[in-house]
Amino acid sequence: MKFVSAVQKGDHFIGMVKEDAVINVSALAASLGIVIPQTLLEGIQQGEEFISAVKELVNQEKAEDFTVSLEEVQLLAPIPRPSKNVFCIGKNYRDHAIEMGSEADIPEDIMVFSKAPTAVIGHGEGIPSHANITEQMDYEGELALVIGKTGTGITKEDAMDHVFGYTIINDITARDLQQKHKQFLLGKSLNGTCPMGPWIVHHSEISNPENLAIETKVNGELRQKGNTSDFIFDIRTMIAELSKGMTLEAGDIIATGTPAGVGKGMKPPVFLKRGDTIEITIEGIGTLRNEIVE
């Protein structure tokens, strides 16, 4: 099950992707007099009732009447406006920690920062260059998980029961701002610097999220090539640590870290410029594509 938030002819809807097409689940439900949440975030918060309703709807014979090509719709970020900051796990791949410093930079404890909700954009949307603010825009391809069940003090044993599904995030970073301010928030939260999508794949379709190939290309050139099996801190640890004394809510998003190969790690460093296209592909999910624009 691949869930999208999309727009067609000005109408926002929840959709279900099937191959190169999308079923307008919102319109289908309305035609049958069935009430479902208006947004995907609300659906995730509703839980299993929402999943069951969507499964039943897309199996209706009438679903064909509400199916269009993906090319006919605009894909938004699956959760266009998260209810709070996106949680990000820093230096969660050993080789990336080294390329950003040395072996001394490999964390012994989980490292967490965040990106503001206003940074989120969707697949295909332009990433502002922010040329008047930064000269060191960089990419970071990441697997992101979406929480589907609210909890505090979640144990590692129960952690995976709290996952709704998985998507892709490009953790665009202004490296010079990151260095200047001696923290991550400002350099990570410029408007449009959290591309997300193109959809959320339900956890039932990803048998092992910790064995997924991930790669990032810039203008067709392979820059990052890794696998989530190289996590320093696994998903269970991420959820357990984040939920210690802090409630993780349905719809919260956790970006799990990036492999080696970022622009800052190249010798000499190579940063993004206007016109560059970044494509992040994760096995079992798809490809998130965005371009740096004015």
User: Does residue 254 surpass a pLDDT of 80?
Assistant: yes
Q: Tell me the pLDDT tens digit for each residue of 201-224.
A: 999 999 999 999 999 999 999 999
Give the pLDDT score at 215. 98
Cα–Cα distance between 186 and 174 in angstroms, integer?
Answer: 8
For 113, half-sphere exposure in the C-beta direction (CA atoms, 13 angstrom radius) is 16
Q: What is the mean pLDDT of residues 38-51?
A: 96
Is pTM, for the whole model, over 0.85? yes
Q: Tell me the pLDDT tens digit for each residue of 266-293.
A: 999 999 999 999 999 999 999 999 999 9
Give the pLDDT score at 102. 74
Give the pLDDT score at 207. 95
User: Does residue 103 surpass a pLDDT of 90?
Assistant: no
Question: pLDDT tier at 91 (50, 70, 90 boundaries)?
Answer: very high
The dihedrals phi and psi of 113, each to the nearest 5 degrees, come to -140, -175
Cα–Cα distance between 187 and 8 in angstroms, integer?
Answer: 33
Q: Which comes out higher in pLDDT, residue 102 or 56?
A: 56
Return residue ranges of the chain for CATH 3.90.850.10.
86-293
Q: Where are the alpha helices (DSSP H) in 20-144?
A: 25-31, 40-46, 48-58, 94-99
CATH of domain 86-293: 3.90.850.10
